Amino acid sequence: MHTTQTSESQHSRRAFLEHSSLGVGLTALGSLLNHRQSCPASESSSPTDQWRGILTPRHQTPRAKRVIHLCMAGGPSHLETLDFKPTLAKEDGKPMPSSLTKGKQIAQLQGAELRCLGPQHVFQKYGQSQQEISTALPHLGTIADKICILRSVQTQQINHDPAHTLMNTGSGIPGRPSMGSWILYGLGSETANLPGYVVLTSVGGGQSQPIAARQWHSGFLPSRFQGVPFRSSGDPVLYVNRPEGVTQRSQAQMIDAVKSLNQMRNQVLDDPELTTRISQYEMAFRMQTSVPELMNISDEPDHILKMYGLNHLENNKGGDGSFASNCLLARRLAERGVRFIQLYHRGWDHHSNIKEGVQFTANLVDRGCAALVNDLSQRGMLDETLVIWGGEFGRTPMAQGNGRDHHIMGFSMWMAGAGIKNGFSWGATDDFGYQAIENVVSVHDLHATLLHLLGVEHKQLTYRFQGRDYRLTDVHGKVIHNILS
């Protein structure tokens, strides 16, 4: 009889702990409130405050402390941005060589007459490195000597959602951890006052390709490692503030009623999701102070706002939701110790009217990208920050009306910062920009190189799930040593 009662009691308590965010949250807040009264905020810490990562020490000396991933959602055309093809220009309007396209996977042009569409924007050589970049990206041209252009990237997924999933998780199958989650799990966070993995989104240009939250999900890793989306205008995090009419004192009074129960049950129930819930409530409490301070860009000098093209926000405490505003917030997040930052711009899906579409979208992102790299550089942060720019795939050399279809055989990205060669180009596509033919770079290679720069041997960062050891690069991937300084 005693055993039955104990089991029922434990079951009811477990249900209460797992399903009552109020009890867990208030206990966590109570611990914080009591602790904050006895020591300064800068010295406050507890076992659940800050995840330190499982890799101590790193496998090798890291070159990068953090990553900023500039995600150009929709698939920017390499042929109008980073990969000039004079042969394609000469063959404009003529049939594509069947030797290139026969038997190859094509998205919406399958079975259609395939004709060449020449580059729709003029290219120019920039900087001492003389890197060829589209004149649609003039601000990027000003930092040509600070970036490395990869012109031979390939992917395996030809539709948007699975291609984003592959780029983010190393697999086209949903449910795997995102690269930001892997990095946070392995290396931990450098801040206790903000999430270690933050996501910002902006829209404008072509079709606003939807982005699923699973792109920054933790998959089978504990949920404390998933990305936290911040809104780039208005309240960045909904409901982070204390409800109106609830004082700190009244919170403490409610806490006392449940504190003993939660602490006692915590000793019995070893549940990582319960630990996550406690840590996230603690984080939410700290974010009541850290998030408003982060978003208050009124303390930025005028010349910084002008560099990002945000001088209209000189007296504004928050961003305006633009990609440029998000770039400035990315720098502020990096300064405050956020390990992995993703900026999605949903506007690169140009199935039609690609000339005007690329120009319009490029105008929305070009200045912010250059400003971010220059800002990090002048603050001495670029040497320890890896910046990655690119989409989930490229666009076809073949015309889709006056646009371009999805393309996976060859496209371009650029990287800058920690450990990356400056003013350098790597890889090449054929004369039509159809297929990567020189120094081919896979998504797995990108992931392996990213981890390498963070001091991680990609084959050794694993997590056992359902009887198998998983890793970000799965069973693939090689470090691209030739692009490293």
What are the pLDDT tens digits along the chain (485 aa)? 334 333 334 444 444 444 444 444 444 444 444 444 333 333 333 444 578 899 989 999 999 999 999 999 999 999 999 999 999 999 999 999 999 999 898 899 988 999 999 999 999 999 999 999 999 999 999 999 999 999 999 999 999 999 999 999 999 999 999 999 999 999 999 998 999 999 999 999 877 778 999 999 999 999 999 999 998 666 777 766 667 777 767 755 665 555 555 556 666 666 666 666 666 667 776 777 788 889 888 889 999 999 999 988 776 777 889 999 999 999 999 999 999 999 999 999 999 999 999 999 999 999 999 999 999 999 999 999 999 999 999 999 999 999 999 999 999 999 999 999 999 999 999 999 999 999 999 999 999 999 999 999 999 999 999 999 999 999 999 999 999 99
| Alpha carbon distance 436, 447 (integer Å) | 18
Q: Containing domain of residue 414, as a range? A: 52-232+321-483
Q: In this structure, what token pair is assigned to residue 297?
A: 């860009």
β strands within 304-378, DSSP E: 340-346
Per-residue model confidence (pLDDT) at position 231: 82
Show the tokens assigned to 205: 């240009």
Encoded tokens for 129 = 């490195």
Q: How many domains does the chain have?
A: 1
Q: pTM value?
A: 0.87
CA angle 181, 236, 22 (to 5 degrees): 75
152 in any annotated domain: yes
Query: What's the pLDDT score for residue 292?
Result: 84
For 26, the token pair is 């208030």
Q: Which of 341, 151, 153, 329 is nearest to 232 (CA)?
A: 329
One-letter amino acid identity for 342?
Q
CA–CA distance from 190 to each of 194, 327, 334, 336, 440 (Å)?
9, 20, 10, 8, 34
Residue 250 lies in a domain: no
Res 14: pLDDT: 46
Report if residue 116 sits inside a domain: yes
Whether 206 is in a domain gets the answer yes
Rounded to the nearest angstrom, the gap between the alpha carbon of residue 190 and the centroid of all alpha carbons in its chain is 17
Whole-number pLDDT of residue 260: 55
Residue that the structure tokens 């970000």 belong to: 472
Instruction: Give the span between the Cα atoms of 438 and 441, in whole angstroms.
Output: 9
Could you tell me which of 464, 476, 480, 479 has the C-alpha nearest to residue 177?
A: 464
The answer as to whether 31 is a domain residue is: no
Partner residues linked to 431 by β-bridges? none
Rounded CA Rg of the chain: 24
The pLDDT value given to residue 248: 67
For residue 366, being part of any structural domain is answered with: yes
**What CA–CA distance (Å, rounded) separates 272 from 475?**
27
What's the pLDDT score for residue 372?
A: 98
- Tell me what pLDDT residue 401 has: 96
Closest CA to 405 of 167, 173, 159: 159
pLDDT at 205: 83
Residue 347 located in a structural domain: yes
33/258 Cα distance (integer angstroms): 15
Query: How many helices (H) does the chain have, and how many strands (E)?
Result: 13, 17
For residue 205, tell me if it sits in a domain.
yes
8 A C-beta contact, residue 52 and residue 291? no
Picking from 373, 305, 388, the residue whose alpha carbon sits closest to that of residue 340 is 388
Q: What is the pLDDT of residue 123?
A: 98
Q: Is the peptide bond before 57 cis (omega within 30 degrees of 0)?
A: yes
Give me the pLDDT at residue 253, please. Answer: 67
| CATH number for the domain that contains residue 199 | 3.40.720.10
Distance CA 265, CA 258 (A): 11
